Structure 1
Amino acid sequence: MTVAAETVLEVQGLHVDIPTPAGVLHPVRDVSFQVRRGETLCLVGESGCGKSMTSLALMDLLPRAATRRATTLRFLGEDLAQASRKRINALRGDRMAMIFQEPMTALNPAYTIGEQLVEHYRHHRGAGPADARTRAVELLEKVGIASAAKRLGQYPHQLSGGLRQRVMIAMALMCGPELLIADEPSTALDVTIQAQILRLLADLQKELGIAMVLITHDLGVVARIADRVAVMYAGEVVEEGPATEIFATPRHPYTVGLLSCIPVPGRTPPGGKLGTIPGVVPSLVGDLQGCSFRDRCAHAQPGCSRTIPLRESPAGQQWRCVLAPEAEAA
């Protein structure tokens, strides 16, 4: 009998609210998912759908004016919603780590790579300078950086984009985290380096048994690395389930629209027209009722303006839509 992996992160009913002159902005609305040890969950969706804001809420790194609330927000059984600032600071960067989207702005240009790696490790582990430096060299070598000891004396601007991203991965892994959140870690890189970074993340996760939340809008990346997928639109998860099910039988019209935008080798002719999703994402200011996608959906009907039921398939796929499953498949 197969024993289920331990749940590392459990999120239920996560909301983020930001007051603005026009009203309260709701960039994250009732988001729920869980990530098990050794599992990769990909958050996907258009720019502005709430993926990065969700990751910042998980790490408690929201803008000062923003407020976070959740029915459940647990890390290895510990209630993060009720944890003190001191406890959050102790977990963040140690057992919970994050790779930010742009390494050039995430790394401090005034300090060497070594100073930033060593400071991080000494703060959380109380290690001496020599032990911290040894750990830094070890991690830089693990992420594929040659002449690691020499690199410790260099500044971020002296490294290429790919090397800076590898340094960010090494920094996130310095303390051996159990949860890794990667916010579009390969967006600013060319295709070759992007593939190397994704392969590196997958290998490290398998080796270390890390639970990973990967944020991306690239469904090609998702197909290569994800175990489960959560599709976000207008701040909420509209579909979630195993990656194989999402790609084989997408249920929500928005997921179908996203997948239709991807060229399929052998099926999409060269120069052929790709699918598009008409319209724009609605404003997230004020109260929102019903399906947020209804103004862009070809299957919209009067019931879309009311509370949308949560449906579930036997394979564990969940989605919110008024259409019956047979209509969605058609």
Structure 2
Amino acid sequence: MTDKPLLSVRGLTIDIPVASGTLHAVRGIDFELMKGETLCIVGESGSGKSLTSLALMGLLGGRISRRASRADFDGTDLIAASNRQMRRLRGARMAMIFQEPMTSLNPAYTIGDQLIEALLLHKKVGRAAARDRAVALLEKVGITSAASRLGQYPHQLSGGLRQRVMIAMALMCEPDLLIADEPTTALDVTIQAQILRLLVDLQREMNMAMILITHDLGVVARIADKVAVMYAGELVETGPAADIFNAPTHPYTRGLINCIPVPGKTARGAKLGTIPGIVPSLVGEVTGCPFRTRCSEAVPACRGEIPVRTRHAGRQRILCVHEDGQRAASEVPA
């Protein structure tokens, strides 16, 4: 890996106009990703994870506003880039696997047509060479009788096969960055494990950077180099996966980890941890820590500006008023 990040994001903000005002869906998030690294973005549904990925790919709706002080992909400003520049990047150097392959694949076109389209668009290859590449990638992602699959339509494949087709489609042009938005959500547990193992193997083989969006911390613990914990549009804790799992600091991060059963430690039948309350509305002015209404460590200072704390020589960043994510002993009521 080089010293220069492949992707560098600073202050990414996404606003959505709604009937009652403006929904501040993503609020000033920062992260970096090196070539070959895996960044996992985790958090509850509605925290802004998918919108972040769509903003990077330039796939937000026309009424949705995105801005950033920096959104650099290997020298290209993703915010200032024209539609033509983004079309050259998407599918070629940046690719995305969406949550639900049945709604992402076009039901009116065969698998083969959809696979080779991006390669014909971005690379100077003939149709026969593109077809051979499609067959090779289908075989690589574990689809048997790959050549015969090219003539099939999406509805003729199972959910697991459609997801494998989506992965093959994303890899047709050997992208530098792969964004996987909860790629195993609609699959059964056995297929989920196969798809994740496949993604990790292909990433290592092609030396891609990968952003995996998920709410499954068990998955994150197995494959992430870096973790970004997202809550109510903010990254409340970011850092190396080992640091965050060994010493989770933000109360929300600790709450998520406490919800996971630990083999050999969690007794059979024991109650798992929970996070009380609901995610607050992000419509209108948002001040203070959005997690304070659900946080057992909340203090009056949580209503004001929240500082960014750092640990491990700046590798781990925490958005919290408490130095170590917990109240000092003198602040805890008797």
Same fold (TM over 0.5): yes
Partner residue in 2 for 1:321: 320
State the match for 1:232 in structure 2: 230
Deviations 1:89-145 (A, max 9, x none): 110111000000000110011111001111121111142211110111111111111
**Letter matched to residue 199 of structure 1:** R
Corresponding position: 1:149 with 2:141: no
* Shift in Å, 1:5: 5.0
| Aligned residue in 2 for 1:17 | 15
Q: Which residue is equivalent to 2:35? A: 37
Question: What are the Cα deviations for residues 258-293 of structure 1, in whole angstroms up to 9, with x where unaligned?
Answer: 001001111111111001101000001011111010
- 1:318 alignment partner AA: R
Provide the rounded CA distance (Å) in 1 between the counterparts of 2:46 and 2:270. Answer: 28
User: In the TM superposition, what are the counterparts of 1:40-55 in structure 2 within 5 Å?
Assistant: 40-55=38-53
Q: Name the structure 2 match of 1:276.
A: 274
The answer on 1:91 being equivalent to 2:89 is yes
Q: Give the equivalent residue in structure 2 for 1:305.
A: 303
- 1:101 is aligned to 2:88: no
Aligned residue in 1 for 2:332 = none
1:161-200 Cα shifts (integer Å, max 9, x gaps):
1111010000000011000000000111111110110000
Post-superposition shift, 1:326? 7.6
- The answer to whether the 8 A contact 2:309-2:323 is kept is no
**In structure 2, how many angstroms separate the alpha carbons of the residues matched to 1:236 and 1:38?**
25
Contact 2:141 2:164 (C-alpha < 8 Å) held by counterparts: yes
Q: Does 1:173 align with 2:171?
A: yes
One-letter amino acid of the structure 1 residue matched with residue 241 of structure 2: A
Alpha-carbon distance in structure 1 between the residues aligned to 2:229 and 2:327: 16
SS at match of 1:231: strand
SS of the residue 1:175 aligns to = coil
Query: What's the Cα RMSD here?
Result: 1.4
For residue 82 of structure 1, what is the amino acid of its counterpart?
A
* Amino acid in structure 1 at the alignment position of 2:122: H
Which sections of structure 1, spanning at least 5 residues, go unmatched?
Answer: none
Per mean C-alpha deviation after superposition, the further-off stretch among 301-310 and 116-125 is 116-125
1:64 Cα offset (Å): 2.1
Q: Where do 5+ consecutive residues of structure 2 fail to align?
A: 330-334
Shift of 1:329: 10
- How many angstroms apart in 1 are the aligned matches of 2:249 and 2:36? 26
Aligned counterpart in structure 2 of residue 186 of structure 1, from 184, 195, 204: 184
Structure 1 residues 216-256: Cα deviation after superposition (integer angstroms, max 9, x where no partner): 00001101110000000000100000001111100100001
Identify the match of residue 55 of structure 2 among 57, 64, 68: 57
Are residue 204 (structure 1) and residue 202 (structure 2) matched?
yes
The 3 A distance-change label for structure 1 pair 105 and 204 is same
Q: Which residue of 2 aligns with 1:69?
A: 67
Given residue 321 of structure 1, which amino acid in structure 2 is its aligned partner? C
Q: Return the letter of the residue paired with 2:52.
A: T
